[in-house]
Structure 1
C-alpha cells in the first residue's frame, strides 16, 4: 500500500544500513534501492475455523498459523479425471486477455501450493514463472531511489551515539547505584504494542515474574558480544 512506500525515505534503515557498507567498501553510496515482496493479505488463520469454540479448538490442535494470500503460495486447481481429463493448475482466478476480463470456470478450487502442488513451493513458483509470469511480477514492487542528504545522516549519527551512551550509563546506574529500573527505562505500552502485532517476547519480564530472575526462566540468555569493536582489547 502507499503507506509502505511512503515510510522508507524516513526510515532509519536507509541510513544505518548504508554507513557500514560505505565504511567497509571505502566508497560513497549514491542512495538506496528497495524492492518489496507483496506477501498478500494476512488475515485468516490456517486451518480455517469458525468463531464457535475457536480458542478451545485452536489449543487442542496445537495452535494455528497466519497465512499470506499470495499467488506464490496459493494455487488454483481443477481436479482431473484421467485419462479423459488431466489435472489443471492456474495462478489466478481472474485475469485480463485481449482487453476483456476473464475468469476460471466451475470446478476450480484454491489450494495451498506448499501442500498440494507436486514438488511444493519451489516447483509451484517455477510453474508460475513459466506459465503466468505477469502474476508473479505483480508480487514485486520497486520504489524510487532514496537519497539521504549529509545533514540527515549526521543528525542521525549524533542522535544514535548519544542515545547509546545514555543507555549504557543508565544500565550502570541501575546495576551499581541501585537506581530504579522503572524510572530510567519506563515501559512504553501505547497502542497495544505489548501484544500487537504479536506478543512481545519480553512481556513476562515487564508484567510477570520473569523479571525477578530472567536467566532462571530458561527463556533468556546473556548476549554474547560479536561486533569487532566489542571484542577489541
Structure 2
C-alpha cells in the first residue's frame, strides 16, 4: 500500500479508543443482562466486533501488525443480499453433543417414561425398543420431553458433552406458509440472508490458559 493511502496514527489511535469504548459497553450489557439471549448483549457484541475489525484493518495498513482478536463466524459469510427491511425471520440453530455417558442417558429416559407411560420416543416407529433399552429411543424421549434450550443447560445430567454450536438469524420478505418448509426445513439456509450469526466452539479457546478464558467470554454473545 502507498504512503498516501495509509491511515494516519491518529486514525489508528481513534479506532483503538473505539474498541475500548465498545468493550466497556459490552461488559456493561453483560453485567446488566436480563437472561440468555438478551438483545442488548447481542447488540453490544456486534458493535464490539465491528470496532475490532476496523481497528485490525487500520493497524495492519498503518503498521503491518495484527491483533489477536478473532470474531467467530464473520469470515465465512458472504455479503448480505436479503431485503433491506425484512418483515419475517427464521432462527436456525445447530448444537452438537457427544454421548459420553450412555447409561446416564438411558436411566434418565427410563425415568421420564415411568413418570409418563404415554411418552413418545420421537422416532415414529411403533413397537420399537423401550426408552431405557436403546440410545436411539432414549434420545427420542429426551428431545420429545424437553426444549432444546433446557437440554443445553442440563446436558451433563443426560450424559451429553457439548460440541460446537451456531445460531443464524436469517431474513425473509414474508412469513412462510404453515407447513411450507417442514419436509425440508434446512434447504433454505442461505448464508446471504443471514442478518447475524453467533458461534461457540472450543477451537476459539485453544492456546488460552484458565485465566485468559474469563477475558474471552466477554467477546462471546449471550454470555
Given the two structures, how large is their TM-score scaled by the length of structure 1? 0.21
CA radius of gyration, larger in: 1
Given the two structures, how large is their TM-score scaled by the length of structure 2? 0.22
* Greater relative contact order, per chain length (Cα 8 Å cut-off, separation 6+): 2
